[in-house]
Structure 1
Amino acid sequence: MRTRTLGSTGPTVSALGLGLMGMSDLYGAADEAESIATVHAALDAGITLLDTGDFYGMGHNELLLRDALAGKPREQAVISVKFGALRDPDGGWAGNDGRPRAVKNFLAYTLRRLGTDYVDIYRPARLDPDVSIEDTVGAIADLVQAGHVRHIGLSEVGAATLRRASAVHPISDLQIEYSLLSRDIERDILPTARELGIGVTAYGVLSRGLLSGHWNQERELPAHDFRSSSPRFQGENLRHNLALVEQLRRIAEARGATAAQVAVAWVAAQGKDIVPLVGARRRDRLAESLAAADLELSAEELRDIEQAVPAGSAAGSRYAAPMMRHLDSEA
């Protein structure tokens, strides 16, 4: 597994990371034993960057990761944790909390659930509109000074917030959605991150499965799968987006690859400062994505891919309207 460094101040990590959210939340039921086996397979393949959130399954995801890492050397994993998203007992969403005292409280519980004394990268999941980013980042900086956090990251924030945050403390990376179907960061956010020496960990590289080549119009979603309310998975939007995937599939087959592999490889090809996160919940899906790490796309292939799936060609926003309002990156 090749490696990349997150920004000018962040850690060196595997060129692909593993996102664990779907093992606990938002994509319907998952098999816990298979999830742990998938984490083990990722570690065996050389993946070091493991991304979780304290609100994924209301702590379940961190406990699952603790079990998966039991008996493994702590330094084998670079653990990235998002915090601040508030949940209710029914699994609903209740805003975001970036107050300094809340930041330290969230981390205390995270460290206990993970069974570790430090987190490699700690980041607010979303901007709290009632708390300045300077105060939130300042609180994490205190935790860095105390040795409980190694690096500070951000998630789904815009260019102006990146500048304000980096003035308080070096930021290792911005975690944000980036895929063939979601390219808005190319206008202002990605250039600003590069100017400031901030890396990008790209989630949603398969657009929640749309770009995987495994989706179809007839697929039914369980009630707790958030894609059931995602605009890109609805009616005519879905038909349009799947037609784009078919064009991508033809390019992939000519290369002897799958649509998913080409989609991941395209994100990786956008810069050495970008690390795609793959959200595999099963070993077979992980194995498919891992092959993208060795898939070098030529300049001609990159042009063909972008002609097949042009910037802005996706139908529907990436989240439903209420969730879009929480994205500083879309402001």
Structure 2
Amino acid sequence: MDPTSHAEAALPRDDSLQPPMKEVLTFILPTRNRKQYVRRAVDSCLQCQSDNVSPFVIVIDGESDDGTFTDLQNAYRDDTRVLLLQNSKSAGFMNTCYEGVDLVKSKWVTFMYDDDVLSPYFIKMVSELIRSDDRFVMGYGAAFPAGEIYPFKPIDTFKRYRPEQLLLAYYGRNSELDFKGLPHSPICCVTTLDLLHEWVPYVKDFCSRNSIRSYFMLKRNIGPDLMIYLLSLLKHEGNISLCVSVVAQFSAHPTSMSVTYGNSDLAVGYWLAKIWGFEYLCKADRRHEAAVCGSALVFVGSKTLAARLIRFQTKWAGMILREIAGILFTSIRDQIVLRTLRESYVNIFEWIRTRSREVLPKP
């Protein structure tokens, strides 16, 4: 990665430019050819400030050819809170994310996507994180047309949950939550730099094991973002604050990931990420949680495979079956297979019981 001259101008030149005793929250923002939206994304990060929190945005442009980078230079050249860098477009999204992690110097960090928007009240979530002396905080996100801004409400309610409650909610056990639409995008959370330094090798190792993981999670970028949540929940000690508000907008437009990839591919990528969480639990000998997650993975994987076959999407059918077989083999090896089968009935009941539950807090 080659910082240009304006990047040096974006860095603080001396300590006097950074107010003393402020916590810094760093946003890693990869971008390419999103001139229409990226400044809005940067500005929503920069508004995340208070008397004790200062934002810093690392924008990494992948050789945009639509004028994005020039526009960013003109807007933020003299803003010490923004670091502008260019990377080769051949690096790809995930490698750019890894490089962004290496550039972070602050304790607190998250990612930002170049077409999305943060709530103007996002700082409340960061303040709650610092106040409660936690290492992770999260809220909800809502899909909304890219040409509009979601009607964010002030953030005034947090609920405390055990990490395993939120973890199992990602595997379908969400009966203890008020809303079942937990996010996958990392823009709805704040975590630590230490955790992201662990996340990078976990993603690389897991995705190197077979072609389906490499394709969906690295080439299509579906799933590594969810692994940030799973790893944060798996590693966290003590209760976690969940913001009972929408804290970010997932912008929907013709070239957004959710539109171009479609629900089927998104389901596969996120399902694979959850397999990583299951394997982590097995290695940690957390048998009850592993059995719950394993049963959910077999159920969801079978349902996803059937849905793809009905649409004649047969390309990855064999690999999906192989992943399902791997979950069952691991359950047998770790002597949790009977517990896994028993939990399957509970998962089906939970799925039916919570289908009518609200997905998100209302605007």
TM-score with structure 1 length normalisation? Answer: 0.29
Q: Which has the larger radius of gyration?
A: 2
Higher helix content, 1 or 2: 2
- Whose RCO is larger (CA < 8 A, sep 6+)? 1
